[in-house]
Structure 1
Amino acid sequence: MVKLAAKCILAGDPTVGKTALAQIFRSDGAHFQKNYTLTTGVDLVVKTVPVPDTVDSVELFILDSAGKELFSEMLDKLWESPNVLCLVYDVTSEQSFTNCSKWLEKARSQIPGTVLPGVLVGNKTDLAGRRVVESAQARAWALGQGLEYFETSVKEMENYEAPFHCLAKQFHHLYREKLEVFHALV
């Protein structure tokens, strides 16, 4: 049994639901924040995720970061050497989806020349009548960037665990690959 630790960057524009997603994941669906307060720096959420079909687990250190450019300088230091990325946008905001490119570039610039596994999460699917970003469009973009794609409604507690379980599985897979390379060298 192996317990790994992974630094996960939670990125996206303000008000897309990053904090709500992290909080509801940490509390196993027990805590949905009805009152919204803007994240002004970084909140740390830590949770152990079992890796399916193994006895291993990954402890995710989720850095829930402010989406405002104002805090950009501080983020640079905190974002150093991430292991996985959870990119979040609001399905009712074309701008938040468009800005995912910028967030992805910023995260990947922290580890040049290295693959950064990650997921793209379309949040607020409960607002179906206001949806402007279609699933197919977002999925195609995500796949083109090497990301897995998920849709969630934190408010309705739908699918909020899936992105983090995927990240744990991706990180575990990379760990296993590196271990095999190491054993081949010995």
Structure 2
Amino acid sequence: LAGDPTVGKTALAQLFRSDGTHFQKNYTLTTGVDLVVKTVPVPGTGDSVELFIFDSAGKELFSEMLDKLWESPSVLCLVYDVTNEQSFTNCSKWLEKARSQIPGTTLPGVLVGNKTDLAGRRVVDMAQAQAWALGQGLECFETSVKEMENYEAPFHYLAKQFHHLYREKLEVFQALV
């Protein structure tokens, strides 16, 4: 998970881990990285993947630590706050940082606009976010962690993408044998 501070990365990861049973109202700023692990079934395959979700701090202060922890990410979840234009704009920076860890390789991912429950304060339009995500090869989702809406969809999509990458690598390996 990557994105600016206070966009809801930790809330999203914690709600997903708890299957929607735990929305924590008060959070402390993530320092460094928190790890959330969850097994997710991949629809239509009979397989499951174990997602290791690194909930990374959004502060630039922790940037050097992130470089070490972000070595070779498999999939990416960029999160922004739909009421904060700058958090959306900064997704370009976060995407570039993640992709720089695996040059020459495709990094499947999602763009997640959080806090849709604050509709009256929205400044980032869904169409704008979708257009940007499409241009970057990302799938776009909107969520309200507070209202527990659509919080699972980005992770299920990422699990499917990870499974697809795994199957491709397995086929290449089997062809060599």
Q: TM-score range by the shorter chain?
A: over 0.9
* Identity fraction in percent: 92
Partner SS for 1:122:
strand
Written as runs of structure 1 = structure 2, the 5 A alignment for 1:59-70 is: 59-70=50-61
Deviation, 1:181, is 2.6
Q: 1: CA distance between counterparts of 2:121 and 2:51?
A: 32
Q: What are the ranges of 5 or more consecutive residues in structure 1 without an aligned counterpart?
A: 1-9
Q: What is the distance in 2 between the residues matched to 1:44 and 1:141?
A: 28
- Alpha-carbon distance, 1:155 to partner: 0.1
- State the Cα distance separating 1:174 from its structure 2 match: 1.2
* Cα displacement (A) at 1:31: 0.6
Q: Deviations over 1:82-133 (max 9, x none)?
A: 1110000000000000000000000000011111110000000000000000
Instruction: Using the TM superposition, name which of 175-184 and 81-90 deviates more.
Output: 175-184
Distance in 2 between residues matched to 1:179 and 1:36, nearest whole Å: 40
Give the CA deviation at 1:173.
0.8
CA deviations 1:137-176 (Å, max 9, x no partner) are 0001001100001000000000000000000000111111
SS in 1 for 2:22: coil
Cα distance in structure 2, aligned partners of 1:154 and 1:68: 21
Mean alpha-carbon deviation: is it higher for 31-40 or for 176-185? 176-185
**Cα distance in 1, alignment partners of residues 37 and 173 from structure 2:** 29
CA apart distance, 1:40 = 1.0
Offset at residue 180 of structure 1 (A): 2.3
Taking the aligned partners of 2:2 and 2:20, their CA distance within structure 1 comes to 21
After TM superposition, give the deviation of residue 182 of structure 1 in Å.
2.8
**1:55 Cα offset (Å):** 1.0
Kindly report which structure 2 residues correspond to 1:30-49, keeping only aligned pairs within 5 A, or say none.
Answer: 30-49=21-40
Q: How far apart are the structure 1 equivalents of 2:175 and 2:35?
A: 37
Q: Which runs of 5+ in 2 are unaligned?
A: none
Deviation at 1:61, TM superposition (A): 0.4
In the alignment of these two chains, the number of paired residues is: 177
Aligned-pair CA distance for 1:37: 1.0
Deviations 1:60-97 (A, max 9, x none): 00000100000111111011111110000000000000
CA distance, structure 1, for counterparts of residue 29 and residue 131 of structure 2: 30
State how far apart, in whole Å, the 2-side matches of 1:37 and 1:139 are: 30
CA apart distance, 1:39: 0.5
Q: CA RMSD in A?
A: 0.8
CA distance in 1, matches of 2:49, 2:81: 27
Task: State the distance in 2 between where 1:152 and 1:36 align.
Answer: 18
Which range is displaced more, 176-185 or 152-161?
176-185
Q: CA deviation at 1:177?
A: 1.7
TM-score by length of structure 2 reads 0.98
Q: TM-score, normalised by structure 1?
A: 0.93
